[in-house]
Amino acid sequence: MKKRYFLLPFVLLACKSNIKTVSEKTYNVEQTDVSDFLKYLSSDELEGRETGTRGIEKAAVFLEDFLKKNNVKPYFSSYRDTLTNFETTAYNIVGVLEGTDPELKKEFVVLSAHYDHIGVLKNKQGDMINNGANDDASGVTVVAEMAKYFAQTKLNKRSVLIVFFAGEEKGLLGSKSLVQKLKKQDFNLYTQLNIEMVGVPMKRDYQAYITGFDKSNMAGRINQYTGKNTIGFLPKEAEYELFYRSDNYSFYDVFKKPCQSISTFDFENFDFYHHPSDEFQVMDILHITKFIQEFLPAVTQIATTPTQEITMTK
C-alpha cells in the first residue's frame, strides 16, 4: 500500500501532462460547417424567411434542431419565444449556456442575430426569393458557431444567452418583445454582441466595425482581447445611425448596457441589400470562418473576465 501511495502523485502528474487544455487557440472553426449551415438557411426552400410564413417556420425548426444537437438548453420552457407584438404567431429562438462560475453565471452575455428576412417578391419575373444570405443568415451562422464553441469548451464563466430574432425586418419586433420579458425577470445583462451582415469582407485595415462606436469601450476591449485590429470605426455607420437600426438597440433602450452590432457591410462591398441576389453563392465562406475564429478570444474574455470590463462611455 505504501508503494502505491508513493507512486500515485507521479501517476497523476503523468496523466495531467497528457491532458490537452481546450481554448480559443486550440479550437478550430470548420469551414464546411459554416458553409453547410449558411447554405441551408439561405436556401430557396426557406422562401426568404419572412416572419409569419412557412419559410421561417422551417428555419425555426432548423435552429431548434441545431441547438438541441449541440447541447444548448432552451432558455424558456422550449426554444420558442412567442412574439407579443406581431399579428400572427411568430417566434424568437432562444437558448442558454449556463456559466461555470457560481457567481459570474448570474450575469449574462447575449450573442444574437436575426434569422428573418423579407420573403418573396410579388409580381416579378424570374428570381423572386429574397434569400437573405448576408442579411442575416451570415450573422446567424456566426452566432450558431459561437454557441457550439461554448457548448463544447465550457469556457464561459458567465451565462451566455443565444438569441435568433424574428421580426427584425418588421421593425425590431422580436428583440422588442423579448427584452420586455427579460426585464420583468430582472435579467442581469452584462453586454450584448449582435452580429449583422458579415458575409463579405471589407477592404480596410480592420476586419469589422461596431455600431455606436463611441457609446462604449467595446471596440477597444475586443481589439485588446484578440490582439489585433479587429474592430474599427466606419464613418458611414455614424452617418446612417446604424446603432438604432438593429436588434442591439432594443436591448440598449431597456437595459442601458453596452449592446452593439458588429458588421462587415460597409456600403461599398455588397450590392444586393434586400435583393434576390443576396444568395449563398455570393458569400465568402473563408472570410466568415476566419471572422468567427478571430472573435473567439474576444467572446471568451467577455464571458470570463472577473469584472465587467466593457462599460458605457456616454
- pLDDT-above-90 percentage for the chain: 89
Residue 72 has a pLDDT of 98
Residue 11 has a pLDDT of 36
Strand pairing category for 189-195 and 208-210? unpaired
Interatomic CA distance for residues 78 and 96, integer angstroms: 11
Interatomic CA distance for residues 76 and 94, integer angstroms: 7
Q: Report the alpha-carbon angle 252-195-75, nearest 5.
A: 70
Q: Report the alpha-carbon angle 285-175-137, nearest 5.
A: 15
Average pLDDT over residues 278-288: 98
| Cα atoms in the Cβ-side hemisphere of radius 13 Å centred on 302 | 31
Q: Report the alpha-carbon angle 109-308-180, nearest 5.
A: 40
| Domain made up of 23-203+244-302: CATH architecture | 3-Layer(aba) Sandwich (3.40)
Question: Rounded mean pLDDT of the chain?
Answer: 93
Q: Other CB atoms closer than 10 Å to residue 33's CB: what's the count? A: 15
pLDDT of residue 4 exceeding 90: no
275 near 130, Cβ under 8 Å? yes
Residue 125 has a pLDDT of 66
Residue 6 has a pLDDT of 38
What is the tens place of the pLDDT at every residue in 27-85?
Answer: 999 999 999 999 999 999 999 999 999 999 999 999 999 999 999 999 999 999 999 99
Instruction: Give the DSSP H or E segment for 246.
Output: none
The ranges assigned to domains in the chain are 23-203+244-302
Question: Which of 14-23, 84-93, 179-188 has the weakest average pLDDT?
Answer: 14-23
Amino acid at 89: T
Peptide bond into 136 cis (omega under 30): yes
| Cα atoms in the Cβ-side hemisphere of radius 13 Å centred on 68 | 10
309 φ/ψ sector (left φ>0, alpha ψ -120 to 50, else beta): alpha
pLDDT of residue 7 exceeding 70: no
213 near 233, Cβ under 8 Å? yes
305 near 158, Cβ under 8 Å? no
| Residue 25 banded pLDDT, cuts 50, 70, 90 | confident
